[in-house]
Structure 1
Amino acid sequence: MADLFADDTSPAPKQDIPREDAPLADRLRPGELAEVVGQDHLTGPEGAIGRMVAAGRLSSMILWGPPGTGKTTIARLLAASVGMRFASVSAVFSGVADLKKAFAEADRAAEAGQRTLLFVDEIHRFNRAQQDGFLPFVERGTVTLVGATTENPSFALNAALLSRAQVLILHRLDAAALGQLLDRAEELEGSLPLTDTARNALIASADGDGRFLLNQAETLYNAGIAEPLDPAGLGSFLQRRVAVYDKDREGHYNLISALHKSVRGSDPQAALYYLARMLVAGEEPRFLARRLIRMAVEDIGLADPHALIQCMAAKDAYEFLGSPEGELALVQACLYLASAPKSNAVYAAQKAAFRSAKETGSLMPPQNILNAPTKLMKDIGHGAGYTYDHNADEGFSGDNYWPEEMEPQRYYQPVERGFEREIAKRLEYWDKLRRERG
């Protein structure tokens, strides 16, 4: 395996000057922490990194953020800022042997009086056992660990490792930060061949990723475009960025949570936006159909009984039509749910009834509603005294249906919204008849 480590044994305040033919993103890589854009909450004087640098001491940390937000750059500049030796390893290409080599080199450097910052890119890709291998070296100070990850550390990293490192969150770059990057590119390479509106469109297309933005800018410079492009011309020239979205990772769960909460909060516009985000990013439509059905019974229930029917029909329509035509049915169901009256009374009733069933065990129902298919069962009283409700006044007998050892419970309490308002009136009326009939 090729040497995977960048080992700077004599750190300088600025990083090495890149070659003239290096990619634009490398040539514009900041030389000091003050030049990092979009992460002032960390690198500024009051930020966690700014305070550590001012004190001249670093603690181990995990840099968590989207691609292209400066994680690798910050790690390199941290080492230079406090005079530490910098070594790096990528979890994509490295194994146990590479880690042992890195730790052995750090031990030798420590004997010479030099501290080592070990940067681990994509640290979440190391398995649990490999992550545990960092612990003794971090604990005795052989290395100060700086890990970079795009995944939620709560899910991707060992609790033991997390307890020994601060988790610092990098923000996706906003339009102002991305604009600064383009300003620096234009200082180096000249004006971009874009109108002002096209420049804004280029920034929007980056989706918060500074590296992607600079790569797109470099493509425009290399193309030798004579006349400035408008947004339409830019769109036809450059590929649109594919949304960052892993169907089995945090982005997936964040968006489905946002969709569900927007439906629950009766905001059809926001709900449609998150549904569109997931579909455009390649989410499985059947997964969304299942979640919409869940929303219908959890957050709407009997406040609008048609909500579940709409969702089941949307599922069937999608199965019949397929993509992309069937996705319109999912959109209709989503908008129906978001604009429907809301009630979690059915959901709350289920929770309460299940809890009660677990607590009461095997209580026998009252004899009058026990099944009596044989003469023996009738002789011992099963079904005795049962009143057939259809023969009672108003189709309601008012009999007791609860076990003798258990007081009647009230699990389902309809709200004063939608169809449940009518259900509440009906239940109240039956309660009145039950009291009158003893």
Structure 2
Amino acid sequence: MADLFDSFQSSAPADAPRPLADRLRPKKLSEVIGQDHILGPQGPLGTMLASGSLSSLIFWGPPGVGKTTIARLLANETEMAFVQISAIFTGVPDLKKVFESARMRRTNGQGTLLFVDEIHRFNKAQQDGFLPYMEDGTILLVGATTENPSFELNAALLSRAQVMVLERLSLGDLERLAQRAEKELANGLPLDGPAREALLEMADGDGRALLNLIEQVTAWKTESKINKETLAKRLMRRATKYDKSGDEHFNLISALHKSVRGSDPDAALYWFARMLTGGEDPRYLARRVTRMAVEDIGLADPQAQTICLHAWETYERLGSPEGELALAQAVVYLALAPKSNAAYVGYKSAMRAAKETGSEPPPKHILNAPTKLMKDQKYGDGYSYDHDAEAGFSGQNYFPEEMKRGIYYQPVERGFERELKRRLDYFAKLRSKRQGG
């Protein structure tokens, strides 16, 4: 199937119009813009090529950063046959044909670099099908994915391939690409400085998207430079790369959570806005923001949780977009609130202790004795009613009798927990005094 695709490409007339992205496709690895961290002399791919020992690879990165181009150039560098398939359109019969063709090439002395786009789309059984052909050298696999390989690919496949992380193109990389396009077109972009910068930002790190935008701009008939405002009217900004169930989703919610924890309201608002503009469900954000109040602020500011719940309720009443402002206010409040995870840490410590101590019963003096049998068993004997004790505190032991007293909640000297710590220290001194007496 891939061979047929390649022959179809080559059968097109030489003078047929070609997209700018195709015309600017690099002819050698040194012409690739960006990805110096893997292609440079000290990078993993540069080192492999210098030593003549190329292994199977997984390219992980966003769209338009050169995954397909690099794979094709690797085949050229190593004089291997380049075969490209997509996991979206390839079934088991197609794979069998690809493997058989690769086996025949191998008997004739030529290796096959099999490039699999969207490799994460293959299921476990299909991924396992590559393993014997990778192991016996029939193919050198280069897979491309926009998803985190550690979540989407089999461990067996990952153990036989090196993961190369490709990065989105920087503004500097995109500017170099734009200059290369202008040279190919023999014409400068009809944009003033701010408009040119805006065009690069619209590409959002995607080289292919930038070249498509450049083709649109150069097709305009204009006598003067186009400014940023006119550009924005004529071009639609590229949709933000965001997958509500994918890796980008977890990256952004992690960034939001850590910005709140780090008491940076501006960064928190930015990541909150990034998720909303990407199409995230505000209800998901309301739930996660409430979790931040419980986990990272806790009793340092007991009002934080209430504010989050009220913001959530306000969103449910107002809907979008007005209700999202209430959630944004909650985000700002959390970022500026005093932080403490003492209750969270204490809860986890208590859970561990509960699992370790098994079925230890409470001490008998704090058990109720509604029956004569239970009274005979000394249930409730020696219990001190705290309201009758001095300062309303008896200082009795409430842990299992065979268990050493645990210390789980240790408040910090921030916010309202400063007051809770003062109370805790007060009761600790009283307990020591009462138990000692």
Q: Is the 8 A contact 2:242 2:278 kept in 1?
A: yes
Question: When the two structures are superposed, what TM-score results if normalisation uses the length of structure 1?
Answer: 0.95
Partner of 2:200: 203
Taking the aligned partners of 1:70 and 1:201, their CA distance within structure 2 comes to: 22
Displacement of 1:20 in angstroms is: 4.9
Displacement of 1:223 in angstroms is: 2.7
Give SS of 2:222's match: coil
- Percent of matched pairs sharing the same residue: 61
Taking the aligned partners of 1:91 and 1:227, their CA distance within structure 2 comes to: 46
Say which is worse superposed, 336-345 or 223-232, in terms of deviation: 223-232
Q: Is the 8 A contact 2:102 2:139 kept in 1?
A: yes
Distance change in 2, residues 1:42/1:18 (3 Å): farther
Displacement of 1:392 in angstroms is: 2.1
Pick from 339, 342, 345 the counterpart of residue 342 of structure 1: 339
Displacement of 1:4 in angstroms is: 3.8
Displacement of 1:227 in angstroms is: 2.6
Pick from 144, 148, 153 the counterpart of residue 148 of structure 1: 144
| 2:371 aligned with 1:368 | no
Q: Is the 8 A contact 1:8 1:85 kept in 2?
A: no
Pick from 339, 354, 357 the counterpart of residue 357 of structure 1: 354
Q: Is the 8 A contact 2:2 2:83 kept in 1?
A: no
Q: Is the 8 A contact 1:303 1:343 kept in 2?
A: yes
Say which is worse superposed, 49-58 or 247-256, in terms of deviation: 49-58
Deviations 1:297-323 (A, max 9, x none): 111111111111111111111111111
Displacement of 1:224 in angstroms is: 2.4
Distance change in 2, residues 1:126/1:5 (3 Å): farther
Pick from 327, 332, 335 the counterpart of residue 329 of structure 2: 332
Give SS of 2:362's match: coil
Taking the aligned partners of 1:387 and 1:18, their CA distance within structure 2 comes to: 97
Question: Which AA in structure 2 matches 1:333?
Answer: A
| 2:294 aligned with 1:292 | no
Taking the aligned partners of 1:46 and 1:360, their CA distance within structure 2 comes to: 54
Question: Which AA in structure 2 matches 1:405?
Answer: E
Partner of 1:263: 260
Say which is worse superposed, 370-379 or 320-329, in terms of deviation: 370-379
Partner of 2:32: 36
Pick from 86, 90, 106 the counterpart of residue 86 of structure 2: 90
Taking the aligned partners of 1:19 and 1:49, their CA distance within structure 2 comes to: 35
- After TM superposition, the structure 1 = structure 2 runs for residues 15-414 of structure 1, keeping only pairs within 5 Å, are 20-189=16-185, 190-414=187-411
Taking the aligned partners of 2:5 and 2:113, their CA distance within structure 1 comes to: 10
Pick from 413, 426, 436 the counterpart of residue 423 of structure 2: 426
Say which is worse superposed, 44-53 or 289-298, in terms of deviation: 44-53
Say which is worse superposed, 124-133 or 386-395, in terms of deviation: 386-395
Taking the aligned partners of 2:50 and 2:29, their CA distance within structure 1 comes to: 12
Q: Is the 8 A contact 1:194 1:230 kept in 2?
A: yes
Q: Is the 8 A contact 2:35 2:166 kept in 1?
A: yes
Taking the aligned partners of 2:258 and 2:6, their CA distance within structure 1 comes to: 49
Displacement of 1:39 in angstroms is: 1.0
Question: Which AA in structure 1 matches 2:171?
Answer: A
Question: Which AA in structure 2 matches 1:132?
Answer: D
Taking the aligned partners of 1:92 and 1:228, their CA distance within structure 2 comes to: 43
Deviations 1:89-121 (A, max 9, x none): 111111111111111111111111111111111
Q: Is the 8 A contact 2:268 2:335 kept in 1?
A: yes
Q: Is the 8 A contact 1:307 1:336 kept in 2?
A: yes
Give SS of 2:219's match: helix
Question: Which AA in structure 1 matches 2:423?
Answer: R
Gaps of 5+ in 2: none
Say which is worse superposed, 181-190 or 44-53, in terms of deviation: 44-53
Taking the aligned partners of 2:398 and 2:5, their CA distance within structure 1 comes to: 78
Taking the aligned partners of 1:123 and 1:19, their CA distance within structure 2 comes to: 34
Distance change in 2, residues 1:20/1:244 (3 Å): same
Taking the aligned partners of 2:107 and 2:43, their CA distance within structure 1 comes to: 32
Q: Is the 8 A contact 1:7 1:87 kept in 2?
A: no
Displacement of 1:376 in angstroms is: 4.2
Deviations 1:109-160 (A, max 9, x none): 1111111111111111111111111111110101111111111111111111
Deviations 1:65-85 (A, max 9, x none): 100000001111111112111
Taking the aligned partners of 1:383 and 1:351, their CA distance within structure 2 comes to: 30
Say which is worse superposed, 89-98 or 56-65, in terms of deviation: 56-65
Taking the aligned partners of 1:116 and 1:8, their CA distance within structure 2 comes to: 14
Displacement of 1:53 in angstroms is: 2.5
Distance change in 2, residues 1:372/1:19 (3 Å): farther
Give SS of 1:412's match: coil
Q: Is the 8 A contact 1:42 1:49 kept in 2?
A: yes
Gaps of 5+ in 1: 10-15
Aligned residue pair count? 431
Displacement of 1:233 in angstroms is: 0.8
Distance change in 2, residues 1:294/1:17 (3 Å): farther
Question: Which AA in structure 1 matches 2:368?
Answer: N
Q: Is the 8 A contact 1:18 1:27 kept in 2?
A: no
Taking the aligned partners of 2:14 and 2:426, their CA distance within structure 1 comes to: 82
